Amino acid sequence: MDSQQLAEAAGDAMYSNDTACKELGIELRSISPGCAEMTMTVRDAMLNGHNVCHGGFIFTLADSCFAYACNSHNQSTLAAGARIDFLAPGRAGDVLLARAEERALAGRTGIYDVTVSNQDGKEIALFRGNSHRIKGELVPQGENA
């Protein structure tokens, strides 16, 4: 497998067990080495006391996209931390698109930028995550594989 095929296989393996994303309707639109795109539609059940999308769900979409991007090299990798800045509210029915991009990767740690936009292309949030690689692969790649 080349790096693109490996990214797709890793994404598929990860998504098949990803109950949280499936429950929230978060879909993996694309994955490539260091990058991912995911979408989520804002449901009524995601609204908070201000009647806009709870920031936690916007974070969850961005954090998911970050996770797929940083696992796209087929090395098991966890989120160590992240910062999110909220730019504009998400509304019921909005289709949010997150795009994650690798900004740095050295040793076991990486930095990924994620932007979340709505269906009009308006930016809703900016997210920057710190990743930490652990042992293991998503798709086994033994020496004889």
Question: Which residues form the interface with its own copies (CB under 8 A)?
Answer: 13-21, 23, 44-51, 54-57, 59-61, 63-64, 67, 76, 78-88, 103-104, 106, 109, 111, 123, 126, 128, 130, 132, 138
Closest CA to 58 of 32, 36, 88, 13: 88
Rounded-to-integer distance, Cα 98 and Cα 62, Å: 6
Q: Please, which residue, 35 or 126, has the CB nearer to its own copies?
A: 126
For residue 101, with 0-12 CB atoms within 10 Å meaning exposed, 13-18 middle and 19 or more buried, which class applies? middle
Q: Please, which residue, 57 or 94, has the CB nearer to its own copies?
A: 57
Q: Please, which residue, 95 or 104, has the CB nearer to its own copies?
A: 104
Minimum CB separation of residue 145 from its own copies in Å reads 21
Q: How many CB atoms lie within 10 A of CB 32?
A: 14
Q: Please, which residue, 1 or 108, has the CB nearer to its own copies?
A: 108
Q: What does the DSSP assignment read for 118-139?
A: -TTS-EEEEEEEEEEE-S--SS
Minimum CB separation of residue 143 from its own copies in Å reads 24
